[in-house]
Chains A and B, each alone.
Chain A
Amino acid sequence: MPASAEAPVPAGPKVEAAQLDVVFGRGAAAVHAVRDVSFQVAQGETFGLVGESGSGKSTVLRALSGLNPDWTGRLEVDGRALGPKRGKAFFKQVQMVFQDPYGSIHPRHTVDRVLSEPADIHGLPDVEGRMLRTLAEVGLGPEFRFRYPHQLSGGQRQRVAIARCLMLEPEILLLDEPTSALDVSVQAEILNLLKRLKAEHALTFILVSHDLAVIAHMCERLAVMNNGRIVEELSVDQLRRHETRQAYSRQLLRASEGYDRDAAREQITYD
């Protein structure tokens, strides 16, 4: 069912953020990275956060994932409020895929060790069987099990990073620019993989990207962020029909369609 912005989000969102604020530093040097951000994500939905660098989109994700404990406001998963520190149960339910597959996997650990670590921490049974099933699910054969990251391509590393999340059978994946370090042909493979996994496991995705085309391809709804705030929330159909209400989103959409001499001249810097 294609979601539209007019239809209310079904009762009981899977993930909710309300009046989320994140401030780095204090006093005169304080940077207000996220300002009064609120959104809801339904079970099984892919929700996109799109914006330029410094818009706060990744900071929202890091607050949600528990990587950044300094935030104020309300964050909820399944109606339960999240605190600054998260327990094991949270990480079993919520996992994150990072932008840079070269930086997010330990360079001196084999794939075997990378994948078994989360399962060991959570005391899950049959780590080996789970690992081989998960590797197959992300399209890697058993021969990859004892390889080191430097023996893998960027796309294969990102598959390992996704497999590491799947080891815990999470319900929610937080995706922070999962394909922006990859070639376009590899990006297509990873996006297809994510879509398939979501359908097979009834996952809920929150996808952060600067690329409107990627967001449009993956998401049902999206929020455009600028300067720490949500500028507007759109359904993907509204985005496709160019029904943006805010000038900033319109400019972002136009810029994403390639170079246009006139558009470049008209551009306003929003900072």
Chain B
Amino acid sequence: MAETPLLSVEDLHVRFHTRTRVVEAVRGISFQVGREKVGIVGESGSGKTMTGRAVLRLVRPPGEVTARRLDFLGTDLLTADEKALRAIRGDRISMVMQDPKFSLNPVMKVGRQIAEAYRVHSRASAAETRDKALKMLEAVRIRDPERVYEAYPHEVSGGMGQRIMIAMMMIPDPELMIADEPTSALDVTVQMQVLAILDDLVTQRGMGLMFISHDLNLVASFCDRVIIMYAGRIVETCRASELAQAQHPYTRGLLASLPRVDEPRDALAVLQREAGWRDEESVDARLR
């Protein structure tokens, strides 16, 4: 899978200037995403969400994004103007956010929202758009797409809301999808269905997926490659299938702190953070 990357990021920094100090959310990370599922894992505050947002240039002032390179298939995202970015956002790179309750417009019917997302980027007629939207709702396994098309977001469940979001993001057939905790608000069984949809997009359409998550087990079983972040840097990267053999004490500590159904333990291992981890060199997670 190590062909030409879709996304190349080198030495990415995200800083927030506050009145008293500068908060560095992301501190010089380099990685690439090909036509594969890349998991970005970390605890809250590790910078994983900001990394995803920085790629789409969604970090607003007082936030500041700098990088040596932020390249998407030959387009320099760092110098691209708003017009060029609008052509990329939602069309070639789409983003699924964590909570469908806050990402869907509550006063607009589901169908109209999906159609709007499509018509921003294409010249399709109203009838064609409706047709396509219904097909997409079916593709994300919504059983009664006609009803859901005419429903308001509060009339659908959380799991359905998230699948609607994914349908909306799939319509333009993006080359890269950034999914920020797309399944954390979902029940485990619905989560599996949503992941299967994302899996199909990657394996069948050759999409690249940046999968941001706090759930190590999930990432290990779902993704191809894993990037582990701590305090704004990458502490380790490996093939997802090899996560259990991870070397860094932070990764090992996280894995050990998870309760497991099959392994009874009296007490769970508690992660002992070492001050030195913060200042370790960020690991290069580019494709080789």
Number of interface residues of B (CB under 8 A): 37
Shortest distance between the CB of B74 and any CB in chain A (Å): 32
Q: A185-B270, A188-B268, A192-B270 are in contact. Are A255 and B189 (CB under 8 A)?
A: yes
Shortest distance between the CB of B199 and any CB in chain A (Å): 6
B23 at the interface (CB under 8 A from A): no
Question: Chain B 198-230, CB within 8 Å of chain A: the 1/0 string?
Answer: 010000000000000010111011100000000
Q: A183-B44, A185-B271, A188-B268 are in contact. Are A213 and B260 (CB under 8 A)?
A: yes
Number of interface residues of A (CB under 8 A): 40
Question: Chain A 87-131, CB within 8 Å of chain B: the 1/0 string?
Answer: 000000000000000000000000000000000000000000000
Contacting residue for B193 out of A183, A216, A267, CB 8 A: A267
Closest chain B residue, CB of each to CB of A53: B187
B264 at the interface (CB under 8 A from A): yes
Closest chain A residue, CB of each to CB of B183: A259
Q: Is the CB of B188 within 8 A of A52?
A: yes
Q: Is the CB of B188 within 8 A of A259?
A: no
Closest chain B residue, CB of each to CB of A54: B157
* Interface of A, helix, strand, loop or mixed by DSSP: helix
A240 at the interface (CB under 8 A from B): yes
Q: Is the CB of B259 within 8 A of A214?
A: yes
Q: Is the CB of B192 within 8 A of A267?
A: yes
Residues of A within 8 A of B107 (CB): none
Q: Is the CB of B188 within 8 A of A188?
A: no
Residues of B within 8 A of A259 (CB): 192, 195, 199, 218, 221-222
A251 at the interface (CB under 8 A from B): yes
Residues of B within 8 A of A255 (CB): 188-189, 191-192
> In the complex, what distance in Å separates the CA atom of A194 from the CA atom of B196?
36
> In the complex, what distance in Å separates the CA atom of A259 from the CA atom of B241?
12
> In the complex, what distance in Å separates the CA atom of A85 from the CA atom of B267?
38
Q: Is the CB of A183 within 8 A of B268?
A: no
> In the complex, what distance in Å separates the CA atom of A54 from the CA atom of B267?
30
Q: Is the CB of A240 within 8 A of B192?
A: no
> In the complex, what distance in Å separates the CA atom of A92 from the CA atom of B146?
53
Residues of A within 8 A of B268 (CB): 187-188, 191-192, 217
A229 at the interface (CB under 8 A from B): no
Q: Is the CB of B195 within 8 A of A184?
A: no
Q: A183-B44, A184-B254, A259-B221 are in contact. Are A216 and B271 (CB under 8 A)?
A: no
Q: Is the CB of A258 within 8 A of B261?
A: no
> In the complex, what distance in Å separates the CA atom of A220 from the CA atom of B57?
49
Residues of B within 8 A of A191 (CB): 259, 268
A152 at the interface (CB under 8 A from B): no
Q: Is the CB of B189 within 8 A of A267?
A: yes
> In the complex, what distance in Å separates the CA atom of A239 from the CA atom of B265?
15
A200 at the interface (CB under 8 A from B): no
Q: A185-B254, A192-B267, A192-B270 are in contact. Are A257 and B261 (CB under 8 A)?
A: yes
B43 at the interface (CB under 8 A from A): yes
Residues of A within 8 A of B267 (CB): 192, 195
Q: 8 Å CB contacts to B: which residues of A222-264?
A: 236, 239-240, 251-253, 255-261, 263-264
List 19 additional contacts besides A255-B191, A264-B199; criterion CB under 8 Å: A53-B158, A54-B157, A184-B214, A184-B258, A185-B253, A187-B259, A189-B270, A192-B267, A217-B265, A217-B268, A239-B261, A255-B188, A257-B221, A261-B196, A264-B193, A265-B196, A267-B189, A267-B193, A270-B189
A sample of 16 cross-chain residue pairs with beta-carbon separation below 8 angstroms, ordered by A number, consists of: A52-B188, A154-B44, A183-B214, A187-B259, A188-B257, A188-B271, A192-B270, A195-B266, A211-B259, A213-B261, A217-B260, A239-B261, A257-B221, A260-B192, A260-B221, A264-B196
Q: Considering the complex of A and B, which 9 residue pairs feature the smallest CB-CB distances, nearest first? A: A258-B221, A217-B259, A188-B257, A52-B187, A188-B268, A185-B271, A264-B196, A255-B188, A259-B222
